[in-house]
Amino acid sequence: MANHSYLFLALLLFSSLFNRSIVFGANTDGYRVLSVQSLLLPAESCKSKEYKRPGLKIIHKHGPCSPITGQKATTLEIIQRDESRVNWIQSQLTDDSSRLNVQDITLPAHLGTSLRTSNYIVTVGFGTPKKEMTLEFDTGSDLTWIQCQPCAGSCYPQQQPIFNPSDSSSYLNLSCSSTQCSQLSLAAGCSSSTCIYFTAYGDGSNSTGFFANDTLSLTQSDVFPSFLFGCGQQNTGLFGNTAGLLGLGQGVLSLVSQTASKMGRVFSYCLPPTSSSTGYLTLGPNAIPSGIEFTPLITNASSPTFYFLNMTGMRVGGQALPIPASTFASPGTIIDSGTVISRLPPSAYTALRSAFRQGMSNYALLSPASIFDTCYDFSGPGNITVPTITLSFEGGVDVEVDFSGIIVPVNQTVGCLAFAGNANAGIWTIIGNRQQRTFDVVYDVAGGRVGFGPGGCS
């Protein structure tokens, strides 16, 4: 049972720390045709889908499939939050000193939106007996944490009851002298000999609490005793009404690493094309479906959490853009489940924008909206015709982006090009989740590769 004799000391410590797609037709000349209504008007009902691969269901946090209720964020609010996440990621990649740090399962996954963490959510079980917790999942984080009673500092409101360690017969706080405590990227310290974790994000969101282990249940048959996680006692920030965060990074404390003996450091997901549909998250060797094309996973010792790959070029309407591969090589490219909109080097974005605007010359260009500078009025009836966009990676891997990754609706009449340019050439390229939609995205960490397959959850 949980031992909470150190809560008062922990509270003192806390206070010191805080003083393919929705396409009706695809032409052979590099254009796609889409219904205006399906693009701009949100669906009111959930279209959940069951997948043959076992695992977790992925859900959009702000869609009708989401178990998280409450006020929904607008597209522009989501993008403002996305900017904070991107700034945080760039700070981790450019300033290492500031960085805080074989079976099969498939988890239902849903799209959710928050400031720093993933836009998609899954539901897992903690403790004995199991208590279901809905978490944002994030390939840019390692440590999994949930809010815990008695919230000695403070907890934000969440949809489900806050986890009570005293109700779990398998819960155990870890000591400061334990090997596990030394694995934390940043330990806040000790409360009487109990290990305290601390994690903070670029927007000011943070979580602090006991570093502990307990049973993690992903599915009925995939249960992991002594799973290391943060039992949060002081949690603040824009995490919505979720219970916490599920870390899918490459670090030693991530879900991927902790389940490696059974799952083989392999996982895949498909992010649904709309907020009214569902995708999946699968762990294990059978997470690799057929039809996947792989590009090498690049090792970066200074940033062991993130997933790096080599982007080599882009095409618009089937035509290669005049972008040298070296443009994406310095400083490099990461793929991230929690960033919404892909960020490109300035010269690459300029080339993309120019070609896209030329392909959209039949539509009137509007004023910029937030980070988007290529927007159009689609208020008229009928269909719209949009040039295709393809991302190319090392090994000859071409990913033709789903329509939902080409145009992002900012309101019920306006849609914008769903990419943004970085402020300068020295900033990392990020492949965001909007451009990953509908694909089987496979992370074969053990094999050193990342793969893409079309039509994963379309």
Active site residues: 138, 336
How many CB atoms within 10 Å of residue 377? 12
DSSP per-residue codes, 98-155: G------EEEEEEE---SSS-SEEEEEEETTTTEEEEEEEETT----EEEBTT-SSB-
User: Which positions ≥6 away from 28 have C-beta within 8 Å?
Assistant: none
DSSP per-residue codes, 319-351: EEPS--THHHHSS-EEE-SS--SEEE-HHHHHH
Identify which of 431, 413, 336 has the alpha carbon closest to the alpha carbon of residue 369. 413
CA distance 270 to 433: 10
Would you say 153 and 237 are in contact if contact means Cβ atoms under 8 Å apart? Answer: no
Q: Show the beta-strand stretches assigned E in 16-62.
A: 25-26, 31-35, 56-60
Identify which of 413, 392, 388 has the alpha carbon closest to the alpha carbon of residue 401. 388
CA distance 154 to 303: 31
Handedness of CA 353, 357, 360, 363 (dihedral sign): positive
Would you say 116 and 237 are in contact if contact means Cβ atoms under 8 Å apart? Answer: yes
Would you say 342 and 432 are in contact if contact means Cβ atoms under 8 Å apart? Answer: yes
**3-class DSSP state of 165:** helix
Would you say 235 and 156 are in contact if contact means Cβ atoms under 8 Å apart? Answer: yes
**3-class DSSP state of 8:** helix
